[in-house]
């Protein structure tokens, strides 16, 4: 291993709930008093049960995810023909990765010998054999396999899957309501009704986007698209397929769960013939330790898919050259019914190639995360590539709809092509370099796909919202304004659409070069925020943002009205407190400003701008009663540290605080440092003037 | 050898004579009474046996379709029977099953698979159709939703059973060749 200090982090726990159990494997428990001749046909007790117990019973037990139990002869006997057929065709167990192209945790296929044994057994009439030779059956229960969760969330109301119809994909939003930041080591999904839930895709949305989509649909959950804001947290895969319980993460690899975040769960539901209520639960496991390492998620993807009807082999590739060294931890391919062959290949700078994944016969129904038994090191300059082939002809047995042209889209009748690759980097710097390098590629591809969907359905608000957020992330706020404007026109009765448009206008104003035009944008934004508040007077974020914009437009007293309202509605909003502090300061009410900044820092102790502003007032306020040099110094030190030690404004404040505390030598030193990092201009001139004061052993007072 | 028996049909208010059955087979219903599965009124234009089992998911998923066909055809002279070939499923299990899935259809038990053999049915769910002359005109899948176990269409593109019944009622030849059904193998249902 080339990375020092990396070994601790280089492996995710290589156990899953399913395989962590002590299972008796083939032949191991054959009782000594059972005598068998070598030519005797295989029997259930001696030969078949060990295979079924260890490889199939994780799902096939009473109350399990699969239809029947393999734990008793009586039950197995009723399905022998099916067992022989499906194991021979490798339909079961449903592990799709080609043997010999990488080793994955818990997903080993049956061996040739095991398959032959089952064939011979069924041909011989499926004899039971001597029950005394039967290995101990594994115990499965409905409890949490990872232990008692720290937080259990259950869908508040059950959703009823209708008796009939095709497979359904429905998205449910679970509000988590955590108080502050939590570190999550793992989650365990319980489908609630195993017969109907085929698999679950799980994401985290730190924005209210998914929740609002859910609220728009009167029944629990909503049908439609996962919002782009619903992502894999801190580069960790989440999800559930029968038989796969994702392991708890090792110490130092937890992910952040912040206040206001929702769990977004997309269920693949299969009607059973009668109406079925489904009410899933998710257990979360927290860690006391903040993460020391964060993985990165690379998503190879094509969203310009356009597959002609009848096309037998439609090839799609996407690739990415790694800007840093990484260790591949896991991969997850994604395609729908037309996907046939899935290849993930890494080409190293020296030309050697390694398989990331190879699936010859892709099956949309089995969306596994393939966790590598041993992480795969890939050096900087390695090209990771996906090579997917789609079959949109009648020769594809899973292409079960009438032949038609197929475009990209999230619905199962559309087609997709993604290869998610989870990697660990050597250090935080490499992680940042990788994320910065990769992010524009992903956003650009997402824009391609979403614009394509908008062309097909120009009146869908959710699509306009989605692409607008992507444009904002790509630093193209004007395009975001266009799409949020479309949303607001399509759904003028929604407060959120006006809020979104106003916020994009504000961002556009801050990046626009033309001052007059920026002012116009801000005035438009004020109008849109006001519309949002007419519809929803208790919209705390709208009050906050409107206050902030009014402050920018030089109207602190109007700003204070809205910011106080924001604080009243959401007393825990640090942002509104901070803006309120700024507004009071702009009004010249320094005492009130200090109170607001103090409250901000209490709510968010590591907020560098608030620490800096508070320290600055405590160091330089003209009113003697307001100043406190020592406290200012302590706060400014923290602000300097949090902002990386080179931020001129934070250093300037620290210098002023030292001077107020009577430590003029330190003040001179910090002011000189601030000057070093300040770009030439007015700010630098002011720092230089203050430096002269400190040299004369005088503190600085703000005017 | 066929034994030609003539029954009086209890519930028919003496309306008609029951025609010849193609077998001597008698199956038990859920009250343990012996029933000639082929007994029929003169007005009966077709008899349908739908083989089902309590714990076979594919069989269960067809319940709404069977219900729909029953509702569409039973008033037009088509007699429906659900046939349970799994000896492990008791009359009480079957009663609970009929209730849970809302089957409006009478059930027979075929634990020795006698009727399955006569009708050439091999999986649940699978249908066999006899016309008014007591000839087996179709046995096979209900529709083509399932391509194989684990591969299914979002909706069927051919509704074989419905087409057969439509032909029989119209008196036109049944065009549908026997289509293999996908599901749980009846031969495995042994005790």
Quick: pLDDT tens for A650-698. Answer: 999 999 999 999 999 999 999 999 999 999 999 999 999 999 999 999 9
Which range (A222-226, A428-432, A646-650) has the least confidence?
A: A222-226
d(CA B140, CA A92): 25
* C-alpha closest to that of A58 among A87, A17, A89: A17
Name residues of chain B where pLDDT drops below 70: 1-22, 176
Model confidence at A12, pLDDT cuts 50, 70, 90, reads very low
Q: A605 in helix, strand or coil?
A: coil
Side-chain half-sphere of A295: how many Cα atoms within 13 Å? 28
d(CA A412, CA A417): 12
Q: Chain A residue closest to B89 (CA)?
A: A78
Q: Where would I find the beta strands (DSSP E) of A505-582? A: none
Mean pLDDT of A25-39: 45
pLDDT at A19: 34
Of residues A78, A167, A272, nearest to B57 (C-beta): A272
Q: Decide if B149 and A398 are in contact by the 8 Å CB cutoff.
A: no
The model's pLDDT over A396-448, given as tens digits with 9 standing for 90+, comes to: 888 877 789 999 988 778 999 999 999 999 999 999 999 999 999 999 999 99
Q: Chain B residue closest to A413 (CA)?
A: B154
pLDDT at B176: 66
Give per-residue burial for A16-45: e unless 16+ CB within 10 Å, then b. bbbbeeebbebeeebeeeeeeeeeeebbbb
Contact with chain A for residue B149, Cβ under 8 A: yes
Integer angstrom CA distances of residue A167 from A63, A155, A214, A647, B60: 21, 20, 20, 55, 15
**With 90 as the cut, is the pLDDT of residue A207 above it?**
no
d(CA A570, CA A540): 6
Mean pLDDT of A597-609: 94
Q: A38 in helix, strand or coil?
A: coil
CB A521 within 8 A of CB A504: no
Q: Decide if B188 and A82 are in contact by the 8 Å CB cutoff.
A: yes
Chain A residues near residue B56 by CB distance under 8 angstroms: 67
**With 80 as the cut, is the pLDDT of residue A147 above it?**
yes
Contact with chain A for residue B96, Cβ under 8 A: no
Average pLDDT, chain A: 89
d(CA A44, CA A47): 6
**With 90 as the cut, is the pLDDT of residue A252 above it?**
no
The model's pLDDT over A570-580, given as tens digits with 9 standing for 90+, comes to: 999 999 999 99
With a CB cutoff of 8 Å and minimum separation 6, the contacts of A667 are A655, A656, A658, A659, A694
- Which H or E run contains A600? helix A590-603
Q: Decide if A195 and B57 are in contact by the 8 Å CB cutoff.
A: yes
pLDDT at A4: 28
A33: closest CA of chain B, how far (Å):
27
d(CA A629, CA A663): 10
d(CA A553, CA A434): 38
Q: What angle do CA A36, A38, A41 make, to 5 degrees?
A: 80
Contact with chain B for residue A512, Cβ under 8 A: no
Contact with chain A for residue B99, Cβ under 8 A: no
Contact with chain A for residue B154, Cβ under 8 A: yes
pLDDT at B16: 41
Chain B residues near residue A163 by CB distance under 8 angstroms: 63-64, 102
d(CA A644, CA A372): 36
In a 10 Å sphere around its CB, with 0-12 CB exposed, 13-18 middle and 19+ buried, how is residue A692 labelled? exposed
Q: What is the predicted ipTM?
A: 0.82
pLDDT at A195: 81
- Selected for mutation to probe chain A from B53, B59, B64 (highest A CB count within 10 Å) is B64
pLDDT at A29: 37
Q: Where would I find the beta strands (DSSP E) of chain B? A: 27-29, 34-35, 46-51, 78-84, 106-109, 123-124, 126-131, 136-140, 146-148, 151-152, 184-185
Q: Decide if B86 and A413 are in contact by the 8 Å CB cutoff.
A: no
pLDDT at A703: 83
Mean pLDDT of A86-114: 88
Q: Decide if B190 and A164 are in contact by the 8 Å CB cutoff.
A: no
The model's pLDDT over A291-347, given as tens digits with 9 standing for 90+, comes to: 888 999 999 999 999 999 999 999 999 999 999 999 999 999 999 999 999 999 999
d(CA A602, CA A141): 45
**In chain A, pLDDT over 70 holds for what percent of residues?**
95
Q: Decide if A401 and B153 are in contact by the 8 Å CB cutoff.
A: yes
Contact with chain B for residue A662, Cβ under 8 A: no
Q: Decide if B150 and A86 are in contact by the 8 Å CB cutoff.
A: yes
Side-chain half-sphere of B182: how many Cα atoms within 13 Å? 17
Ordered alpha helix ranges (H), chain B: 57-61, 63-73, 91-100, 114-119, 160-170
Q: B188 in helix, strand or coil?
A: helix
d(CA A555, CA A560): 9
CB A142 within 8 A of CB A72: no
Contact with chain A for residue B112, Cβ under 8 A: no
**With 70 as the cut, is the pLDDT of residue A37 above it?**
no
Q: Decide if A78 and B189 are in contact by the 8 Å CB cutoff.
A: yes
- Selected for mutation to probe chain A from B87, B104, B181, B188 (highest A CB count within 10 Å) is B188
B187: closest CA of chain A, how far (Å):
8
pLDDT at A36: 55
Q: Decide if A82 and B185 are in contact by the 8 Å CB cutoff.
A: yes
The model's pLDDT over A513-570, given as tens digits with 9 standing for 90+, comes to: 777 888 899 999 999 999 999 999 999 999 999 999 999 999 999 999 999 999 999 9
First to last CA, chain A: 59
* C-alpha closest to that of A416 among A445, A394, A456: A445
Q: Chain A residue closest to B58 (CA)?
A: A272
pLDDT at A539: 95
d(CA A425, CA A344): 20
Q: Chain A residue closest to B65 (CA)?
A: A164
Phi-psi region of A96 (alpha: psi -120 to 50; beta: other; left: phi over 0): alpha
Q: Where would I find the beta strands (DSSP E) of A391-462? A: 406-407, 417-425
**With 80 as the cut, is the pLDDT of residue A3 above it?**
no
Integer angstrom CA distances of residue B33 from A97, A287, B28, B80: 53, 64, 5, 18
Phi-psi region of A63 (alpha: psi -120 to 50; beta: other; left: phi over 0): left
Q: Decide if A91 and B150 are in contact by the 8 Å CB cutoff.
A: yes
Torsion sign (Cα): A302, A304, A308, A309: positive
């Amino acid at each position: 291993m080339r990375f020092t200090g990396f070994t601790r982090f280089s492996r995710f726990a290589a156990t899953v709930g399913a395989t962590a159990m002590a299972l008796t494997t083939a032949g191991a428990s054959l009782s000594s008093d059972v005598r068998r001749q070598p030519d005797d046909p295989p029997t259930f007790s001696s030969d078949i049960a060990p295979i079924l117990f260890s490889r199939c019973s994780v799902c096939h037990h009473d109350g399990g995810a699969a239809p029947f139990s393999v734990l008793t002869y009586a039950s197995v006997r009723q399905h022998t023909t099916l067992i022989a057929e499906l194991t021979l065709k490798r339909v079961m167990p449903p592990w799709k990765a080609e043997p010999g192209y990488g080793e994955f945790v818990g997903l080993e296929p049956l061996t040739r010998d095991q398959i032959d044994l089952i064939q011979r057994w069924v041909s011989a009439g499926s004899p039971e054999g001597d029950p005394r030779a039967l290995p101990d059956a594994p115990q499965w229960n409905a409890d949490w396999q990872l232990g008692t969760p720290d937080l259990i969330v259950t869908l508040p109301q059950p959703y009823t899957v209708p008796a009939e119809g095709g497979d359904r994909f429905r998205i449910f939003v679970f509000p988590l309501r955590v108080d502050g930041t939590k570190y999550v080591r793992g989650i365990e999904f319980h489908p609630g009704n195993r017969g109907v839930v085929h698999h679950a895709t799980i994401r985290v949305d730190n924005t209210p986007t998914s929740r609002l989509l859910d609220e728009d649909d009167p029944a629990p959950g909503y049908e439609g698209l996962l919002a782009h804001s619903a992502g894999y947290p801190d580069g960790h895969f989440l999800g559930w397929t029968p038989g796969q319980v994702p392991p708890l993460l090792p110490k130092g690899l937890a992910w952040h769960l912040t206040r206001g975040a929702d769990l977004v769960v997309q269920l693949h539901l299969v009607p059973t013939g009668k109406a079925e209520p489904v009410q899933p639960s998710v257990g979360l496991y927290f860690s006391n330790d903040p993460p020391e390492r964060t993985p990165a998620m690379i998503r190879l993807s094509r969203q310009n898919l356009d597959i002609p009807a009848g096309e037998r082999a439609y090839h799609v590739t996407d690739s990415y050259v790694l800007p840093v060294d990484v260790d591949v931890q896991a991969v997850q391919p994604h395609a729908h019914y037309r996907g046939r062959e899935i290849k993930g290949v890494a080409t190293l700078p020296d030309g050697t190639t390694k398989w990331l994944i190879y699936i010859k016969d892709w099956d949309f129904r089995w969306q596994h995360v393939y966790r590598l038994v041993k992480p795969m090191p890939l050096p900087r300059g390695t090209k990771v590539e996906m090579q997917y082939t789609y079959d949109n002809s009648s020769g594809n047995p899973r292409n079960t709809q009438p032949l038609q042209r197929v475009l990209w889209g999230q619905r199962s009748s559309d087609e997709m092509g993604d290869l998610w690759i989870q990697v660990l980097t050597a250090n935080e710097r490499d992680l940042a370099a990788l994320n910065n390098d990769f992010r524009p590629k992903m956003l650009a591809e997402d824009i391609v796909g979403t614009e394509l969907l908008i062309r097909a359905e120009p009146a869908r608000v959710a699509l306009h919202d989605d692409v607008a957020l992507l444009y904002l992330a790509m630093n193209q706020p004007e395009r975001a304004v266009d799409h949020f404007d479309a949303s607001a026109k399509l759904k003028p009765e929604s407060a959120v659409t006006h809020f979104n448009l106003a916020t994009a206008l504000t961002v556009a104003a801050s990046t626009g070069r033309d001052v007059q035009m920026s002012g116009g944008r801000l005035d438009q934004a004020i109008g849109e925020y006001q519309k949002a508040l007419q519809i929803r007077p208790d919209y705390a974020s709208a009050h906050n943002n409107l206050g902030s914009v009014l402050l920018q437009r030089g109207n602190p007293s109007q700003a204070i009205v809205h910011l106080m309202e924001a604080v009243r509605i959401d007393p825990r909003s640090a942002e509104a407190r901070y803006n309120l502090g700024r507004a009071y300061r702009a009004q010249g009410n320094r005492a009130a400003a200090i109170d607001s900044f103090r409250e901000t820092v209490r709510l968010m102790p590591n907020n560098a701008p608030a620490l800096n502003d508070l320290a600055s007032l405590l160091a330089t306020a003209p009113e003697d009663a307001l100043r406190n040099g020592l406290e200012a110094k302590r706060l400014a030190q923290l602000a300097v540290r949090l902002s990386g030690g080179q931020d001129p404004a934070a250093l300037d404040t620290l210098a002023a605080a030292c001077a107020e505390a009577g430590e003029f030598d330190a003040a001179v030193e910090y002011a000189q440092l601030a000057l070093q990092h300040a770009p030439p201009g007015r700010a630098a001139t002011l720092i230089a003037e203050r430096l002269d004061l400190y040299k004369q052993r005088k503190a600085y007072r703000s005017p | 050898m066929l034994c030609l028996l003539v029954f009086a049909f209890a519930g028919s208010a003496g309306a008609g004579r029951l025609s010849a059955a193609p077998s001597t087979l008698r199956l038990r219903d859920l009250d343990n009474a012996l029933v000639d599965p082929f007994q029929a009124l003169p007005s009966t234009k077709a008899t349908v046996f739908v083989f089902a089992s309590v714990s076979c998911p594919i069989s269960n998923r067809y319940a709404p379709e069977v219900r729909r066909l029953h509702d569409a055809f039973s008033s037009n002279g088509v007699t429906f029977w659900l046939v349970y070939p799994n000896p492990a499923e008791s009359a009480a299990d079957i009663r609970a099953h009929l209730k849970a899935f809302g089957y409006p259809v009478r059930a027979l038990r075929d634990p020795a698979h006698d009727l399955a053999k006569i009708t050439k049915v091999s999986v649940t769910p699978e249908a066999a159709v006899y016309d008014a002359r007591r000839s087996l005109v179709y046995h096979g899948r209900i529709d083509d939703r399932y391509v194989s176990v684990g591969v299914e269409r979002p909706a069927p593109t051919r509704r074989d059973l419905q087409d057969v019944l439509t032909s029989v009622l119209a008196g036109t030849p049944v065009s549908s060749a026997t289509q293999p059904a996908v599901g749980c193998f009846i031969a495995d249902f042994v005790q």
